[in-house]
Structure 1
Amino acid sequence: MASRFPLLHTEPMTQRVILATVMDRLAIDAVITGYARAVDDADWAAYRGLFAPGGRADYRSAGGIEGPAGEVAAWLAETMRLFLVRQHLIVNRRVEIQDLGGYPGDRADVTADYINPMRTDRGGAPSTAPDFVSGGRYAFVLRRMDGRTDGDWRLTRAVVHEKWRRTDN
């Protein structure tokens, strides 16, 4: 009998594998949500903590830099000072967990659309209405740390593919 939960494209799975896959998806989702919140809240320690050792981020399509997560966090910390208000909305997440013959592996690829309204510092103007909005798609690569099975996923790569932006000058 085929599984009622086609989380992986495999033969029927045991309930244990289904549960493990659901738990992996929840853990991966928490990393992606943590990513948005870290940037919006200027929590650069949390941002760095989302990346595996050697993890990299690429913001070149949005006019930024590419490099190790720590260097990119420092660049973001400086750049994001320009924006008093930030809110990344990361939606339409497509999660593909490595398939090891019917069992989830230690790698996941996530694509997700984003919209990012922000408000620049206009010399103390009281408005919080956004005057800079961009949108596009993220491509994230994650791995389970040290082959553990407790859902401890970290980013190895985060790439921004900005598709559009609007500024109110």
Structure 2
Amino acid sequence: MLSLQEISDRLEIQDLFARYSFAIDERDWDALDRIFTPDAQIDYSETGGAKGTFPQIKAWLPVALERFPTFQHMVATTRLDIAGDEARSRTILFNPMTHRSADGADQVFFIGLWYRDRLVRTAEGWRIAERYEEMGWTHNVPDMAPVPEVA
């Protein structure tokens, strides 16, 4: 049986993942400050993105996502292992996106992947200390220019 602490931790972590999705989908980059630790390491490279520190990725995201007028990040089905003030998780992400080409044409495509995270409990609540985006599958992905480099 789960303890009240573990129930609370699990709910807080699920809320953290939801807040990440809303921050990205609403392009609220400053909201990410309450999701990641300041020294977090983020690796989106397996799915065609960038790899770097949280400050680098936070600055990179608005530029990298500019060519996508719409997207939705739906997280679900988390496997979560909590050990005191640290946790490891693997979470499914379903991500429909619209790509806008240079000529203005829009193309909808889909990505299925997993987030593999290391989480830590801080004085402000649970935060993501490491995030790795693991590719699952794609459908209807358009030809696109490479993503910009991390500054």
| TM-score, normalised with respect to structure 2 | 0.85
Unaligned runs of 5+ in 2: 143-151
For residues 168 and 60 of structure 1, the distance between their equivalents in structure 2, rounded to whole angstroms, comes to 16
Deviation of the 1:37 alpha carbon: 1.2
In structure 2, relative to structure 1, the CA distance for the partners of 1:77 and 1:23 (3 Å cut) is: same
Q: Which of 40, 52, 73 is the equivalent residue of 1:55?
A: 40
Deviation of the 1:168 alpha carbon: 5.5
Pair 1:116-2:95 in alignment:
yes
Q: Is the 8 A contact 1:91 1:114 kept in 2?
A: yes
The letter of the residue matching 2:134 is: H
Q: Is the 8 A contact 1:48 1:70 kept in 2?
A: no
For residues 89 and 34 of structure 1, the distance between their equivalents in structure 2, rounded to whole angstroms, comes to 11
- The runs of at least 4 aligned residues of structure 1 exceeding 3 Å deviation read 122-125
Q: Is the 8 A contact 2:43 2:133 kept in 1?
A: yes
Deviation of the 1:36 alpha carbon: 1.2
Q: Which of 129, 145, 158 is the equivalent residue of 2:122?
A: 145
Deviation of the 1:61 alpha carbon: 0.3
2:69 is paired with a residue of what secondary structure? strand
Unaligned runs of 5+ in 1: 8-17, 99-104
In structure 2, relative to structure 1, the CA distance for the partners of 1:68 and 1:168 (3 Å cut) is: closer
Aligned length: 141
The letter of the residue matching 1:110 is: S
Residue in structure 2 matched with residue 135 of structure 1 by the alignment: 112
CA RMSD of aligned residues (A): 1.8
Cα deviation code 1:133-164 (max 9, x no counterpart): 11111101110115xxxx71111011100122
For residues 118 and 144 of structure 1, the distance between their equivalents in structure 2, rounded to whole angstroms, comes to 32
For residues 111 and 59 of structure 1, the distance between their equivalents in structure 2, rounded to whole angstroms, comes to 14
Q: Which of the pair has more CA radius of gyration?
A: 1
Deviation of the 1:53 alpha carbon: 2.5
Percent identity over the alignment is 30
Residue in structure 1 matched with residue 59 of structure 2 by the alignment: 74
For residues 117 and 75 of structure 1, the distance between their equivalents in structure 2, rounded to whole angstroms, comes to 20
1:81 is paired with a residue of what secondary structure? coil
| TM-score, normalised with respect to structure 1 | 0.76
In structure 2, relative to structure 1, the CA distance for the partners of 1:94 and 1:121 (3 Å cut) is: same
Residue in structure 1 matched with residue 68 of structure 2 by the alignment: 83
Deviation of the 1:124 alpha carbon: 5.4
